[in-house]
Chains A and B, each alone.
Chain A
Amino acid sequence: MESRPPAPAPASRQVDLDEKLRHLPEAARAAFRRFRASGAAADLDGVIFAILEDFLPRRTEPASRIAQLPGDTALMDGLGLDSLAITEIVFFTEDLFGISITNEEILRVRTIDDLRDFIRSKVAARQAG
């Protein structure tokens, strides 16, 4: 997929986000609401960890445990995600934060910290723009 302009924000956007978020734990949904209100990057982690937990191959590691894992834990070899799951996570976060991620950028995201840093920088760039 080629890079594309930041996702537009049509009137239906809020409805879509509610639908996307309804499977995440309330704590993660609250973190997302705080992020939307304040734009504070500190609230991103609670959302990112919950998304990762949602895509784990088996329901073994709750989000609170993912937060305890070393930041250099690999998404594929460490968490057991496959490339399709990572693609799903990328699409999910693109929609959630109105950011755009290219194929080349996806390939550079290998660890939990890579994903956190990457989303933070993308969100910051969007806020600045």
Chain B
Amino acid sequence: MPPLPVITGLGFITSIGNDRAAVGRSLRELHHGFEPCTFLDNPALPVKVAGTIKGFAFPSPNWRDWQWPATHAIDRETLRGLAPHGVYAVCALQQALAEAGLGPDDLTDGTTGLFCASAGSPYLLGQFLSQMYASRGERGNPMGIVSSIAGTLNFTLATLYHIRGAVCGFVSACSSSSHALGYAMDEIRLGRQQRMLVVGAEDMNAESILPFHCVRALSLNPDPDTASRPFDRRRDGFVGTGGAVALVVEDAALARRRGVPVQAELLGWGQAGDGYSVAISHPEGAGLREAMRRALADARVAAPDIDYVNAHATSTPAGDRSEAIALKAIFDGGARPRVSSTKALTGHGLSLAGAMEAGFCALAIAEGFIPGAAHLEEPDPECADLNLPRTSLDEAPRLVLNNSSGFGGSNVCHVLRRPA
């Protein structure tokens, strides 16, 4: 039997919950994670809502001031090298490893790798560079670079867990952690690694989210209950969020030998570029359509067999429409899988999004439900043909498609399956 990557551990630090049980409840009951937010102490900013991470506080760049839930222990030695999203990531990974029944000694023999995705910490990088400018290069926090640049997650987590397998970070904006998961699947399928830890994370602060206001991508709707409404006619942009999600992916044979439950199988994945615009998705969703086609082909699954699609749809006017067109092109033979974008509840987690939503898909498979299309009141006519359930359904999906798209038209899709 060729290796089959399966998910055996899930960890969540998200706007809709800081553990698996809370996240599952929010997805079933469609509880969003949004709160009113004043960015940069500036009430004049029209961006008023964010998907906040509860139970954490990062009031200064100094780690000595940081707070996180007492349920998670983090040594100062580790903390010194972390960005805020690294703190989320350590907590999420602790949860995922516990669920997979893995201790620190199980990860160090070279058969376990680690793929991560984040944009780095613009917050800490800004602080670090300000210190350098002020001292004209004579002074800088020695931990400034490892804690702030893209790659900080893999540097710090690989060190913390003494990972001696493949260690890498992925940078493709909002498809970054989808790439990390896809290539992690390949590491296992190619027999290079028996187990991969996949972690996506982002800071939840002005420095990570407000730059998207500069490209007019953020919702200006001040109402947390309606600001994020993918596929709705009145959607006006995305709501930003941060957090971390960790997935333990291992070969099915190893999971069987260890006697741990499989949450979901990872059957295949695909990617394709739009080759169109640096920031805006192709108007017909050409790259996403091709990425879905390739993922289905890799998984040897026919489109009509897909039960649920976790859409990328971020609640921007252009992006949701192009994804709807791509979905209709793939599912054109009368098959209409359930479709929802859980960003209606979480907000858009940027580099975190793909892994977060793969985690949600695994939860839906493991716990037998389909997340509803929250906050949808009046579908955009272009999206109206999609099968968008207004509430979560007690239907156990067997085959699930997870979509992600990033800047430059970088599209990635995964196919997940319920274990037999």
Chain B nearest CB from A4 CB (Å) reads 6
- The answer, yes or no, to whether A23 is at the interface (CB within 8 Å) is yes
Residues from chain A with Cβ under 8 Å of B138 in the complex: 1, 4
Bound form: Cα–Cα A54–B63 in Å: 12
Contact with B along A81-110 (1 / 0, CB 8 A): 010110110010001000000000000000
- The answer, yes or no, to whether B142 is at the interface (CB within 8 Å) is yes
User: Which residues of B335-366 have CB atoms within 8 Å of chain A's CB atoms?
Assistant: none
The interface stretch among A44-52, A55-63, A67-75 is A55-63
Chain B nearest CB from A105 CB (Å) reads 16
Is A87 touching B75 in the complex (CB atoms < 8 A)?
Answer: no
Is A84 touching B76 in the complex (CB atoms < 8 A)?
Answer: no
Is A57 touching B142 in the complex (CB atoms < 8 A)?
Answer: no
Residues from chain A with Cβ under 8 Å of B41 in the complex: none
Residues from chain A with Cβ under 8 Å of B76 in the complex: 55-59
Bound form: Cα–Cα A87–B77 in Å: 14
Bound form: Cα–Cα A85–B143 in Å: 9
> Which of the listed residues B64, B75, B80, B142 has the most CB atoms from chain A within 10 Å of its own CB?
B142
User: Which residues of B90-147 have CB atoms within 8 Å of chain A's CB atoms?
Assistant: 138-139, 141-143
- Count residues of A near B (Cβ-Cβ below 8 Å): 17
Residues from chain A with Cβ under 8 Å of B62 in the complex: 23
Is A88 touching B139 in the complex (CB atoms < 8 A)?
Answer: no
Other than A91-B141, A95-B139, give 17 A-B pairs with Cβ distance below 8 A.
Answer: A1-B138, A4-B138, A23-B62, A56-B76, A57-B75, A57-B76, A57-B77, A59-B76, A80-B77, A82-B77, A84-B142, A84-B143, A87-B142, A88-B80, A88-B141, A88-B142, A91-B139
Q: List 27 A-B residue pairs with CB atoms under 8 Å apart, sorted by A's residue number.
A: A1-B138, A4-B138, A23-B62, A23-B64, A54-B64, A55-B76, A56-B76, A57-B75, A58-B75, A58-B76, A58-B77, A59-B76, A80-B77, A82-B77, A84-B80, A84-B142, A84-B143, A85-B77, A85-B80, A87-B142, A88-B80, A88-B141, A88-B143, A91-B139, A91-B141, A91-B142, A95-B139
